[in-house]
Chains A and B, each alone.
Chain A
Amino acid sequence: MMKTTIDVAISAQSRNDRIAATVREQLRKHNVLALNFISSPGSGKTSLLETMAKSLGHSLAVITGDIQTTLDADRLSAAGATAIQIETGGSCHLTAQQILDELPKIDLSVTRLLVIENVGNLVCPSTYDLGEDFKIALLSVAEGDEKPIKYPALFVRAKAVVVTKTDLLPYVNFSIQRVRDDCFKLNNNITVLPISCRTGEGVDAWLKFVESLRQT
């Protein structure tokens, strides 16, 4: 049998990345800042977005991914955001194609901020470009402060870590300083922002931080 080796040297993500570039181009044409929220299930992504929706209204659009149900989009629509639900049916992360497919449902002329609320998963979504400007990691104080070094693929790529549910700090062993120290080792451009949607602590600082990303 005669065999030939053919060089390829192309990233396995190249097709996804090309589609992500198309998403990015469409969003930038309308001056829409795009964030990709990545965290474990139950870290508080939807609660943070509900809180943001109360200030931002329809200038906030959310594409939210879950295995099943429209519960998150329903909550966010009720809070005043434009919310689109993707039910993946089993896939553990969103892809750029899925985002591109949903963009026509959003009026980009009134949208200032698009947040992609990824499927709850600290691993798989980390390496997929969805056309966002920045990845934002969320980590609740109930999850353990060692998670950044256990799951580096996300934290080396994130622009910020939102430490959520800080109202629970008196009841858990969690050091925000440890998260700062470990995140700095992984990515010294990362900002750590503690927040409680329940008490409102840190919400203003988070909204100011998001606004500052437009200048970046």
Chain B
Amino acid sequence: MHEYGIALQIADLAAEYAKGKRLTQLSIRIGALSGVFDESLKMYLELIAEERGWGSVACTFTLVDAMFLCVCKKEYQIKNMTESCPVCHSYERTAIDGADCRLESIEVDDENDH
């Protein structure tokens, strides 16, 4: 349900970067540790697009696994958070990717304002 607040933030960012041009696509990157569910985010983005009179805006999602830097310097991606480093089997690590949900890019219609 918190995807609604995230969708609002994405929509505001998109509008800021569109500078009045009609939005046709949003490309969003969702990290596995971000706690964001793509289907819910899509639903709320579509609702917001309708409320704001944007017309049809396609949403594409790239789902990214959590990536960690181990204390042994190995970088690795895991799907299951209880997996350890494949080299040294340690759990001492820092998350270096997959913790956020990002608006990567937008596509606008050059010929029409919304």
Binding site for B on A (CB under 8 A): 1-16, 91-93, 95, 123-124, 126-128, 149, 152-153, 156, 182, 184-186, 188
Contact = CB atoms under 8 A, between A and B. Distances in A.
Contacts of A16: 5, 9
Given A8-B106, A12-B103, A92 B81 contact: no
A185 B82 contact: yes
A11 B106 CA distance: 14
A13 to B, nearest CB: 7
Contact of B14 (A2, A8, A153): A8
B7 to A, nearest CB: 8
Contact of B109 (A2, A9, A184): A2
23 contacts: A1-B24, A1-B109, A3-B109, A4-B110, A6-B18, A9-B103, A10-B103, A11-B101, A12-B10, A12-B100, A91-B2, A91-B5, A92-B2, A93-B2, A124-B1, A127-B34, A149-B82, A153-B34, A153-B35, A156-B33, A182-B82, A185-B91, A186-B81
A193 B82 CA distance: 21
B9 A12 contact: yes
B11 to A, nearest CB: 10
B67 interface: no
Contacts of B106: 5-6, 8
Contacts of A152: 33, 81
Contacts of A124: 1-2, 35
B42 interface: no
Contacts of B93: 188
Nearest to B102: A11
Contacts of B109: 1-3
A152 B18 CA distance: 36
B96 interface: no
Contacts of A182: 82
Interface residues of B, number: 39
A91 B99 CA distance: 22
Q: Can you list the 10 inter-chain pairs with the closest CB atoms, starting with the nearest? A: A124-B2, A2-B110, A152-B81, A153-B35, A12-B101, A127-B35, A11-B100, A185-B82, A8-B103, A12-B6
B70 to A, nearest CB: 11
Contact of B104 (A8, A127, A149): A8
Given A9-B105, A152-B81, A14 B13 contact: yes
Contacts of B24: 1, 3
A189 to B, nearest CB: 9
B17 A13 contact: no
A123 B100 contact: no
